[in-house]
Structure 1
Amino acid sequence: MQSEGLRPDAVSFTCALKACGSVGALGKGRDIHFQVLKEHLLEKDVILAGALVDMYAKCGAIGEAQRVLEYTPLRNKVMWNSLITGYCHHGFGRDAIRCYEQMQLEGFVPDAVTYSSILRACGSIGELDMGIEIHAQMIKSSFLEDDIIVGNALVDMYAKCGALRKATEVFCELPVRDVIAWTALITGYGMHGKGEGALKLFEQMQQEGLSPNSVTYASILKACGNIGALKTCQEIHAQIVKECIYEGHIQVCTALLDVYVKCGMPEEAHSVFEKLPVHDIVSWAALMAGYAQTGEIEIVFHLFDTMLGEGINPNISIFTILLNICNHRGLLEKGQMYFQMMTEGYSMIPTLDHYTCMVNLYGRSGHLDKAARLIQKMQQRPDLQLWLTFLHACQKWQSVQFGTWAFDHAVQVGVANSAVYACMGNIYADAGRHDDAHRILSRSWHKQAS
């Protein structure tokens, strides 16, 4: 259009922004924003401003969406809804609630879109009290009478917050119970340790003539994995294959892979993995965890090398799997290699678990000096488990020097408990320093009595 010399108007810009939002074309959307500013159109056209907020929100540039709304003199409910939905969709539940409250302070009354988005935001962060308040507001506004989307969002909120009885009550009152409502309830039961209840709901849904969708299958498979229901999982797997759900549904395949891993069947998990349309970091981690769980560590190391060969960068979870293997098997050289790869090759900050693995590896091998240097370089404060790990190594190698160093630090930062005192007492006793051992144990008794 512009190449033919035609000048876009507000309607053209609005349509173009909607297209950018639908396909996530953030760069092009920013270019259009720049043109809109040059034409001074935002001050005059609230629909165009709303399309701009919506585009940024859908593309995940929530900060920019917020700024457009703030600098727009004429705001409407559609803009607020776009911003709230964007915050919710991209995992910023608390920001969505903040916008919801600000919207009402400016005099805008929530509608069905607002309610459905803000309820999902409450569910995503477990904000049950806020969800209950919104439910009361909805009843007052009669929004539950004929809006299935809002009703489903309400079931979803209660289910995710663990209020399963209330979720079931709302579900039973819905005028129409579609697959989305059933799935929300099934997901909630599975999330909160009620796997058997999730399976009953799954069966009941199908008895009422509704077919599961990909989200339903992913949720029920997770529930199966949590309770170790292998036979049921295999039956659902057969159903998925029969209905050709595999292709294009990575969420279902990943859930199936995960359940086989949890049930200790890495070969079946590997078979599912091979059928995945895309091998992402989550599926690699799940498969490696499965083989690690059954002790097939050479396969884990091979999978890691294959993953790197396919151009997938490891995340912190992958290194947790690798370092735990090295720790349990006493593979010091490999552990050092993976730790260095994580910290220097990929610039990751190790967690306390990673540090504890390495301290244990060094300690078991008699390298107390290296373990102590690593502790001194830590970017976070060592916890009780790490100090106990190091103290047990000091006891094994009868090192009073490093033992007293670790004990003094543990006491100084306030994490020393009776186990720390007992370990230090044993170190002194093993070294023949029985008076020091008695002194340490006396301190422990006095500490417990006070």
Structure 2
Amino acid sequence: MGRNGHRRVASIIKESREEPEEGPQDALKEVPTPLRGGRSGVKTPVNALEEVMRRRGVDEAWDALEQMHADGKTTDKYTVSRMLMKTVGDGQAHLDPTRAYRGIALVERFIEMQPEDVDEVLFNALLDTCCRLKDLKRLESCVTWMRQLKVRPSPITLGILVKTYGQAGDLDKVLAAWDEMEEQRGQANSVTYGCMLDACVKCGNLQKAVEVFKGMRATGKHRNTILYTTMIKGYGLHKDLDNALELFHEMRGEGVPYNTITYNSILEACVKCGDIISAENILEQMVQTEVDIEPDLISYSTVLKGYCQNGELLKALCMFDDMKERCLRCDELVYNTLMEGCVKSDDWKAGCGIFAEMVECGLRPSAITASILSRLFQRVGHEDADERVTLLFAA
């Protein structure tokens, strides 16, 4: 790039730092190819495309990149990686598929135009986006492309793959990826191992999860809250309360801190296994001994569910009152659980009272609520159960 080229870039950056009225294509119409150490070998202190992303948002940056591609120009791997990660990061709670797929398509176009300027960070951004979209076909296409370009996968790549296959319930592919990337396993941190444990638990292979966790313990890599919590969840799902409790108590000795999810996972395991006494004790421990952790709606509603399943409606109602005193906003699930408890205890009056309170709180009863109430009326001998439910819903 000559002196004039440097002046053009400086001008673009200056304009983008003001409040320009023109669109991103106008702001970047003279951006040289590329801006950061690409084919021209010239580096600039600020990438003008990134400046557009910072000042105007990532969508306008994609607009600009699309125009650059149409003009036969492009940027560098660092910029497109950050643009894609920004697109995904902006929609953490609710990822917009249209925006995400547009980003993927433009990154793929970048790779086609500049295949020598790629690395595992760029491909990991692509793979992670496919993972969040739950698009296995696109993910596997990216993996194939990665191999063709001889891009070496990292431990992060391994974590993304096992997480994606775990979400899809494809245990064979989880195990294949894990076995294939032996070198990456040796370099992996707790995040990657956490993805593997979670994938095994979700796919129902607790035995493999235990094997992986034992291997981590042998190397001292196991001291992590998420890893322990995932294993506790796994034991709970398999109704193995003894091992779940053993791990829960082991955490203290290993210096691994609990968090709310850890407590909720062990509470769920206790309730699933019918050990309401242990659940009560653990909830009490959470209330009395923890300074930085407070029981949340899930903590209380899990024990409440245990009381209802155990036929202890009075205890469930007392806990319900306690939850309201703590200003926890009970959701439909809590009310439905209480009404299920009323069915088990044949207490239709309490069930109707709970339903009335649910409606007063502004919660919209669902078809599940109607089904519970219908069974409640049937249990106490009302042959016109469905009609009674219809009247309740219409009131």
Shorter-chain TM-score above 0.5: yes
The one-character-per-residue Cα deviations of 1:326-365 (angstroms, maximum 9, x if unpaired) are 2222211011112222233225333333332222222233
Q: Deviations over 1:39-91 (max 9, x none)?
A: xxxxxxxxxxxxxxxxxxxxxxxxxxxxxxxxxxxxxxxxxxxxxxxxxxxxx
**2:106 aligns with one of 160, 166, 169:** 169
Residue 403 of structure 1 is matched in structure 2 by 351
Q: Which structure carries more relative contact order (alpha carbon 8 Å, separation 6+)?
A: 2
- What is the CA–CA distance in structure 2 between the aligned matches of 1:189 and 1:172, rounded to whole Å? 16
**TM-score w.r.t. length of structure 2:** 0.72
CA drift at 1:113: 5.9
Structure 1 residues 304 and 438, CA gap change in structure 2 (3 angstroms)? closer
CA contact (8 A) 2:123 2:142 kept: yes
Structure 1: distance between partners of 2:359 and 2:17: 51
Indicate which of 276, 279, 282 corresponds to 2:226: 282
SS in 2 for 1:246: helix
Counting only pairs closer than 5 Å after superposition, residues 20-419 of structure 1 correspond to structure 2 as 104=18, 112=46, 116=50, 130-136=57-63, 145-158=74-87, 161=95, 162=97, 163-174=100-111, 175=114, 176-241=117-182, 243=183, 245-247=185-187, 249-276=189-216, 277-347=221-291, 348-378=293-323, 379-415=327-363, 417=365
For 1:173, the aligned partner's letter is: F
Report the number of matched residues: 336
**Structure 2 alignment gaps of length 5 or more:** 1-15, 21-26, 29-44, 90-94
Alignment deviations for residues 77-125 of structure 1 (CA, whole Å, 9 cap, x no partner): xxxxxxxxxxxxxxxxxxxxxxxxx96559xx99746865996x99xxx
Opposite residue 120 of structure 2, the aligned amino acid is V
For the aligned residue pairs, the C-alpha RMSD in angstroms reads: 3.6
Tell me the distance in 2 between the aligned counterparts of 1:139 and 1:165.
10
Task: Classify the secondary structure of the residue corresponding to 2:355.
Answer: helix
Residues 246 and 253 in structure 1, CA contact (< 8 A), matched pair in contact too: no
* Residue equivalent to 2:10: none
Change (3 A) 1:422 1:184: closer
Change beyond 3 A, Cα 1:329–1:249: closer
Q: Percent identity?
A: 18
Letter in 1 for 2:135: K
Closer/same/farther in 2, CA of residues 150 and 332 from structure 1, 3 Å limit = same
Cα distance in 2 for residues equivalent to 1:341 and 1:118: 52
Higher mean alpha-carbon deviation, 228-237 vs 208-217, is at 228-237
Q: 1:438 to 1:285 in 2, by over 3 A?
A: closer
What are structure 1's unaligned runs of at least 5 residues? 1-101, 123-128
Aligned twin of 2:391? 443
Distance 1:430 1:213 in 2: 59
Rounded to whole Å, the distance in 2 between the matches of 1:224 and 1:188 is: 14
> What is the identity, as a one-letter code, of the residue corresponding to 1:315?
N
SS at match of 2:186: coil
Match of 2:257, as an amino acid?
N
In the superposition, the TM-score normalised over structure 1's length comes to: 0.64
Do the aligned partners of 2:237 and 2:269 also contact (CA within 8 Å) in 1? Answer: no
User: 2:162 touches 2:174 (CA, 8 Å); kept in 1?
Assistant: yes
For residue 371 of structure 1, report the CA deviation from its aligned partner.
Answer: 1.3
